[in-house]
Amino acid sequence: MSEKLQKVLARAGLGSRRKMETVIAEGRVSLDGKLVELGERVTQEQVIRVDGHVVKYQAAESVVCRILAYNKPEGEVCTRSDEEGRKTVFDRLPVLKGSRWISIGRLDINTSGLLLFTTDGEFANKMMHPSQQVEREYAVRVFGDVTEAILNRLRMGVQLEDGEAKFLDIKEHGGEGINRWFHVVLTEGRTREVRRLWESQGLQVSRLMRVRYGNIILNNQLPQGGWQELTLKEVNYLRKLVNMPRETETKVRVETNKVTNPQARIRRAVKKHNQHRKAGERRRVTRTRS
């Protein structure tokens, strides 16, 4: 049995099928040590490399779609490793065997809130594609005089450097004076889009937090830096959104003696992680001084 090479690469979480077609056409992919062209098919026995790095072959039926909801703090970057040594959103995620977590989109370093991770690369790519129109909702604190005319322009659409953009919905959520909170909804994930929309009206965003992705709402009892795995029902809701078949298997433990306070367990894990990190920093400082 063989599959199209771009499909296997997309499933591994390296990008969309279209992007993988471009990577293949650029001569960056090899099978068993030989560069291949677009249209190549691959079997499980062959060794796949992209830019010289081995890519593990995963058969479609062997991939269990798992999804984590992570409460991202400000100050973390959405990359697996950072040259500047900054904390990343992957640092606190549970370790997997034979698979890896793939981020569904990104949040910039100064944005907090709901970030989803999955083990299914093809699902991740579909969730991020603009054609799927998956809603994202953000809580945003705006500094400045927000008039009704400004809100109307943001609903109708304004021209940004990368094209027209708009909010599908804007609702006021309190605040005083020139510091006011709003909840806004859009279906795209362009870089800094929420901030740029408000800045286009001469306003400043002082806080930004994603609170919803589709109908998955950020658990207000989930501490920053904490995560929880979605149930099979929630996984299949998201898969249905992007026209993917239902998942039949889950890795979420079903226990007769449930933890009475899972939030406390998450907080303990986050606290333990921070203690280890601070201890490591102190050791580095001590070695530097000596």
Minimal CA–CA distance to 231: which of 93, 67, 72?
67
Q: What pLDDT, on the 0 to 100 scale, is given for residue 289?
A: 58
Per-residue pLDDT tens over the stretch 67-121: 999 999 999 999 888 888 899 999 999 988 767 898 998 999 999 999 999 988 8
**φ/ψ (deg, to 5) at 271:** -65, -45
Q: What pLDDT, on the 0 to 100 scale, is given for residue 260?
A: 38
- Alpha carbon distance 171, 220 (integer Å): 19
Q: What pLDDT, on the 0 to 100 scale, is given for residue 258?
A: 39
Per-residue pLDDT tens over the stretch 216-234: 999 989 999 999 999 999 9
> Where in the chain are the domains?
3-61, 135-213
**Which residue is catalytic, options 32, 108, 162, 169?**
108
The pair of structure tokens assigned to 255 is 């226990």
CATH of 3-61, one of 3.50.30.30, 3.10.290.10, 3.40.50.10860, 3.40.190.10: 3.10.290.10
* Two domains, one topology: 3-61 and 135-213: no
Q: What pLDDT, on the 0 to 100 scale, is given for residue 22?
A: 93
- Domain 135-213: CATH superfamily, name plus number: Pseudouridine synthase (3.30.2350.10)
Quick one: what percent of the chain has pLDDT higher than 90?
59
Q: Which pLDDT band, with edges at 50, 70 and 90, does 281 fall under?
A: low
- Alpha carbon distance 183, 217 (integer Å): 13
Minimal CA–CA distance to 29: which of 11, 54, 10, 4?
54
Amino acid of residue 104: I
CB burial of 75-89 (b: ≥16 within 10 Å; e: otherwise) equals ebbbeeeeeeeebbb
Is 108 an active-site residue? yes
